[in-house]
A = this chain, B = another copy of it.
Amino acid sequence: MRYSQAFLPSLREVPKDATTPSHVFLLRGGFVRMIGAGIYEMLPLGFRVLSRVTDIVRREMNRTGAQEVLMPAILPAEYFQETGRWEGFGDTLLRLKDRKGNDYHLGPTHEEIITDMVRRDVKSYRQLPLNLYQIQQKFRDEARPRAGLLRGREFIMKDAYSFDVDEAGALRSYETMREAYHRVFKRLGLDYRIVQADSGAMGGNTSAEFQVLAQTGEDAIVACTACDYAANVEVAETTWPAAPTSSSSTNAIEKVATPGKSSIADVVSFLGNGLTASGTLKALLVAVGDDVAMAVVRGDRDVNPIALAKKLGVAELVLASEEQIKASGTKPGYAGPVGFSGRIVVDPEAATLVDGVAGANEWNQHLRNVNFVRDYQGEVAPIRQVSGGDACPRCSGTLESYRGIEGGHIFILGTHYSAKMGANFLDEAGQQKTAIMGCYGIGVSRLVATAIEQHHDADGIKWPMSIAPFHVIVTTIGKDDVAKTAAETLYGELRERGVDVLYDDRDERPGVKFKDADLIGIPLRIVVGARGLAEGKLEVKKRTEKDPFFIPVEGAADALRDLVVELGGSLVQL
């Protein structure tokens, strides 16, 4: 494509709310435009990247034998009503009525529709297993759409659904998808971790997130530096010290005034004398029905809400209200386990702390030399959040912290939908059984943004070759006719070879051209100028490297094509 004929509008000033790199560069580079909150249109450059990502996802899905379908975006209410999600989805579901007043909604996900497809047309075990997928717009009325394509209200998703005759089959389908996802994320050129998520319907390792590492990620994850263990911090494991059965300290417990020092940091700095946060105890007060329970972790740790909720047997963690705290006999900011009369859950690290500092359950008072067993008791359970530096639960390695963006999720659903909706079949023995489902999502448009979060610098995007909008940008410098002719020739030769070329034929200064090429992130820049031509060479610069290198003009098109392929580019099928 010639730059002069391409619709490549750049934007100097981006809106103030655009702060993440992908949001900024997608707008500045003319990839997308916003037409409403969380609603984006893809300009030609954005559409090109989207198609490349789509193509990789589609090929890898097809390779597994999954079959592509296309379900509608507008869905009659009855399907979600059948499973309770018509109400359950709350305000996130975009509902509408047709001219006759019938209820519809836009599809936020399609479990019900695919289950209906299968219950309607699958009658026998002979028709299973099946894996059906689609690549399609999804609609969710997010309360806070943010960061451009990272969290929109209309976005593009690949959703696959597997149906198996039994759990062993479902596990095979899951494994097949896990491998396909690895291939997808590798081909996309993304640095990612496969992360254990909250366990699925079948328990065990049947739910995993594909987290793309990026500083701007919403999710905190830990991954082992030695093995492939990785997990969302909310469900990550580590090794825990054994709970002590007695206290070794002989130092007597002692009350100390800490006026106005209600945070760990304030207490540490106020008491000084070598005290660190790891020498203190942090107490969290949680409502369990009408009662108040206390969770105790070391002062430098955070409570893992999921682990604590499980231990307490509640669906979701709810902090104690002010009234509840008052009634429990302690004081907010000065709570501690000593003398607390409610249920206490103590993290093993806190339990092994010798002579810790804890709140005294009185205003402006703390206690020194607090020891588990001697001074307070409770149930010991691992309730702290795992963090970087912790030991790997699988090997002798160490966990490291990352921020991640969820790019994919694979998940065995079991019979949650198939049982509710009656997706049954007759097995070999003629018995009626319910299909075991799995579901597998990839946030296709989100991955476009995610790739930028991971691959950019101050000047713009650095697209991996496999998903770049163009493989190569050919730039003329100077007004020399020889250079222009040579550039035209190279442009034609590259196109003939299936290289996707943007030819910057504009009458602009080299500085402007280079800046634009860097902003839109084309992986290879070829400069065609009179001086180089006189020496029989072309300047080639990788977007990811600082310095250019030179290749002979003779055979340049072949050499560049080979380089594109080597870097993971798919040639264009003419």
Contacts and interface: CB of A to CB of B under 8 A. Distances in A.
Nearest to A507: B126
Contacts of A48: 68
Interface stretch (A18-26, A96-104, A415-423): A96-104
B39 A76 contact: yes
Contact of A121 (B5, B30, B69, B104): B30
A227 interface: no
A94 B96 contact: yes
A240 interface: no
A252 to B, nearest CB: 58
B50 A70 contact: yes
Contact of A137 (B7, B36, B40, B137): B137
A119 to B, nearest CB: 11
A427 interface: no
A43 interface: yes
Given A33-B120, A104-B36, A573-B573, A5 B65 contact: yes
Residue among A7, A99, A122 having the largest count of chain B Cβ atoms under 10 Å:
A7
A274 B232 CA distance: 92
B41 A106 contact: no
A72 interface: yes
B74 A47 contact: no
Nearest to A41: B71
A573 B74 CA distance: 33
A521 to B, nearest CB: 18
A9 interface: yes
Contacts of A127: 7, 9
A42 interface: yes
A561 to B, nearest CB: 16
A44 B73 contact: no
Given A91-B99, A99-B141, A72 B154 contact: yes
Interface in A91-125: 91-92, 94-96, 98-99, 104, 106, 113, 116-117, 120-122
A132 B44 contact: yes
A170 B62 CA distance: 42
Given A65-B5, A132-B44, A139 B36 contact: no
B41 A117 contact: yes
A75 B36 contact: yes
A99 B143 contact: yes
Contacts of A44: 67-69, 132
Give the bracket for the number of chain A residues in contact with chain B. Answer: 35 or more
A180 interface: no
Contact of A130 (B7, B33, B99): B7
Interface string A49-93: 011000000000000010111111111100100000000000110
Contacts of A409: none
A315 interface: no
Contacts of A120: 9, 33
Contacts of A104: 36, 94
Given A143-B99, A573-B573, A33 B117 contact: yes
| Copies of this chain | 2
Contact of A7 (B67, B71, B79): B67
A6 interface: yes
Contacts of A96: 94-96, 106
Given A96-B95, A113-B35, A573-B573, A41 B154 contact: no
A153 interface: yes
A470 to B, nearest CB: 13
Contact of A72 (B7, B40, B43, B94): B40
Interface string A241-274: 0000000000000000000000000000000000
A82 to B, nearest CB: 12
Contacts of A99: 91-92, 141, 143
A47 B68 contact: yes
Given A5-B65, A113-B41, A141 B72 contact: no
Contacts of A139: 73-74
B73 A116 contact: no
A83 to B, nearest CB: 15
Residue among A69, A122, A153 having the largest count of chain B Cβ atoms under 10 Å:
A69
Contacts of A35: 71-72, 75-76, 79, 113, 116
Nearest to A118: B7
Contact of A70 (B47, B98, B117, B126): B47
Interface of A: 1, 4-7, 9, 30, 33, 35-36, 39-44, 46-48, 50-51, 65, 67-76, 79, 91-92, 94-96, 98-99, 104, 106, 113, 116-117, 120-122, 126-127, 130, 132, 137, 139, 141, 143, 153-154, 573
6 contacts: A9-B120, A9-B122, A47-B68, A47-B70, A74-B153, A573-B573
Closest 8 CB pairs of A and B: A9-B121, A96-B96, A36-B76, A44-B67, A42-B70, A91-B99, A41-B71, A39-B72
Given A7-B132, A99-B141, 4 more contacts: A5-B65, A36-B74, A41-B113, A48-B68
